[in-house]
């Protein structure tokens, strides 16, 4: 009988990009090789049932994996394989039909403070990076693109994968607009942005316009990537994330990933009374999702003062005495 491992070998050949995003393809391969193959790879795929999924979950928990990772393995990679196996007739019953998912704790946004953001940008403006790999000689030099990329993330709310895909033609410094048309992950352009609404115009302020201006005249080809690595290749999201994390370690700031730039932009904007409707258009994130992630930043001190004043007035109307203490 056809085993899960044997079916996977045929299945993964049909999942190569651009059929799926490069990051998704990477996860399919990593999850199967690391977690699925060693545990249930030899099981006939026609016999796969809910009990096998439960056993796999117990095994992954015993290895110390986070619940989110376990859900990505079971609900992402393995479930995609199961779905296609059912379509192919290799599996008749859906093992996920009565499978119950564990609730994952929602941790919310994790932004930097404005002071931390400014320190990181100041550090990147002075930092030196090694370049010259493959030429036989290395040298240290400043790399402006890293500073410009992180600044743009902090001041626009873009996703790192969207920034990596920007080309010269996507920049309008006169109007102060960036055009987000796609994403770039694992050094490959993805088939699209994360969601349909993510294809959008992103406004940038005067400070960001000045930061980006030196990059545009140097790239005469409108199809050229806007941001580059020290070696001259298009900027790599994973390398940029390492540069970003290294800067935080040097500055003794608690380390956040690149997505903290988006959290920082959204939290600062909303804390200063920004409109969630505009933020949704700017970031390509649904208003409901923004409310869920940034609910605490929607409350301002002025709002608290106004609402608490209403409560105090209502209490006074009911005859409640405040500010007195009996001896």
Instruction: Say yes or no: 146 and 282 in one domain.
Output: yes
What is the per-residue pLDDT across 26-49, written as a single tens digit (0 to 9) for each? Answer: 999 999 999 999 999 999 999 999
Residue 322 is assigned to a structural domain of this protein: no
Instruction: Say yes or no: 79 and 137 in one domain.
Output: no
What is the b/e burial string over 275-310, where b = at least 16 CB atoms within 10 angstroms of the residue's CB?
ebeebbebbbbeeeebeebbeebeeeeeeeeeeeee
Secondary structure (DSSP) of 46-60:
GG--HHHHHHHHHHH
Instruction: Say yes or no: 176 and 227 in one domain.
Output: yes
What is the per-residue pLDDT across 121-161, written as a single tens digit (0 to 9) for each? Answer: 999 999 988 766 555 566 778 899 999 999 999 999 999 99
Instruction: Say yes or no: 158 and 220 in one domain.
Output: yes
Instruction: Say yes or no: 204 and 56 in one domain.
Output: no
Distance separating alpha carbons of residues 123 and 35, to the nearest angstrom: 40
User: For residue 325, is pLDDT > 60?
Assistant: no
Instruction: Say yes or no: 271 and 156 in one domain.
Output: yes
Beta 171-172 vs 188-189: how paired, if at all? Answer: unpaired
What is the per-residue pLDDT across 164-185, written as a single tens digit (0 to 9) for each? Answer: 999 999 999 999 999 999 888 7
Per the structure, the complete domain to which residue 286 belongs is given by 114-297
Main-chain dihedrals φ then ψ at residue 172, nearest 5 degrees: -120, 95
Residue ending a domain, among 48, 72, 88, is: 88
Number of domains in the chain: 2
Instruction: Say yes or no: 224 and 271 in one domain.
Output: yes
Residue 45 is assigned to a structural domain of this protein: yes
Residue 107 is assigned to a structural domain of this protein: no
Q: At 195, is the pLDDT very low, low, confident or very high (cuts 50, 70, 90)?
A: low
Beta strand spans in the chain (E) = 128-131, 139-142, 171-172, 177-180, 184-185, 188-189, 200-203
User: For residue 191, is pLDDT > 60?
Assistant: no
Instruction: Say yes or no: 140 and 284 in one domain.
Output: yes
201: helix, coil or strand? Answer: strand
Share of the chain above pLDDT 90, in %: 66
Instruction: Say yes or no: 265 and 121 in one domain.
Output: yes
CATH of the domain at 228: 1.10.443.10
Instruction: Say yes or no: 73 and 188 in one domain.
Output: no
Residue 182 is assigned to a structural domain of this protein: yes
Beta 139-142 vs 128-131: how paired, if at all? Answer: antiparallel
pLDDT for residue 327: 47
What is the per-residue pLDDT across 225-270, written as a single tens digit (0 to 9) for each? Answer: 999 999 889 999 999 999 999 999 999 999 999 999 999 999 999 9
User: For residue 60, is pLDDT > 90?
Assistant: yes
* Residue 218: both structure tokens together: 């140097």
Residue 302 is assigned to a structural domain of this protein: no
Residue 252 is assigned to a structural domain of this protein: yes
Instruction: Say yes or no: 134 and 196 in one domain.
Output: yes
By 3-state DSSP, what share of the chain in percent is helix, strand and coil, each rounded to 5? 55, 10, 35
* Residue 215: both structure tokens together: 């990059």
CB atoms within 10 A of CB 140: 12
pLDDT for residue 319: 56
Average predicted confidence (pLDDT) for the chain: 88
Average pLDDT over residues 74-98: 94
Q: CB–CB of 162/290 below 8 Å?
A: no
Instruction: Say yes or no: 193 and 264 in one domain.
Output: yes
What is the signed CA dihedral for 55, 34, 6, 89, rounded to 10 degrees? 50
């Amino acid at each position: 009988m056809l085993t899960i491992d044997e079916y996977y070998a045929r299945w993964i050949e049909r999942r190569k990009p651009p059929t799926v995003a490069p990051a998704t393809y990477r996860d399919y391969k990593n999850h199967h090789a690391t977690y699925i193959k060693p545990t249930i790879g030899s099981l006939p795929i026609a016999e796969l049932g809910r009990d096998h999924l439960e056993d796999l979950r117990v095994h992954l928990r015993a290895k110390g994996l986070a619940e989110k990772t376990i859900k990505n393995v079971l609900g992402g990679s393995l479930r995609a394989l199961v779905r296609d196996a059912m379509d192919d007739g290799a599996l008749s019953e859906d093992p996920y039909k009565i499978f119950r998912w564990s609730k994952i704790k929602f941790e919310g946004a994790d932004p930097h403070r404005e002071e931390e953001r400014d320190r990181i940008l100041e550090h990147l403006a002075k930092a030196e990076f090694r370049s010259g790999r493959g030429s036989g000689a290395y040298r240290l030099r400043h790399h402006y693109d890293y500073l410009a990329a992180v600044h743009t993330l902090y001041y626009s709310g873009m996703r790192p994968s969207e920034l990596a895909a920007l080309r010269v033609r996507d920049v309008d410094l006169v109007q102060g607009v960036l055009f987000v048309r796609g994403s770039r992950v694992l050094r490959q352009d993805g088939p699209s942005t994360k969601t349909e609404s993510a294809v959008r115009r992103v406004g940038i302020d005067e400070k960001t316009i000045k930061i980006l201006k030196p990059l545009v005249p140097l790239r005469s080809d409108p199809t050229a990537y806007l941001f580059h690595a020290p070696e001259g290749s298009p900027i790599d999201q994973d390398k940029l994330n390492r540069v970003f994390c290294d800067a935080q370690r040097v500055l003794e700031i608690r380390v956040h990933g690149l997505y903290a730039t988006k959290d920082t932009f959204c939290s600062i904007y909303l804390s200063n009374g920004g409109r969630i409707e505009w933020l949704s258009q700017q970031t390509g994130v649904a208003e409901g999702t923004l409310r869920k992630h940034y609910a605490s930043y929607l409350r301002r001190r002025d709002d608290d003062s106004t609402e608490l004043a209403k409560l105090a007035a209502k209490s006074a109307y009911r005859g409640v005495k405040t500010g007195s203490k009996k001896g």
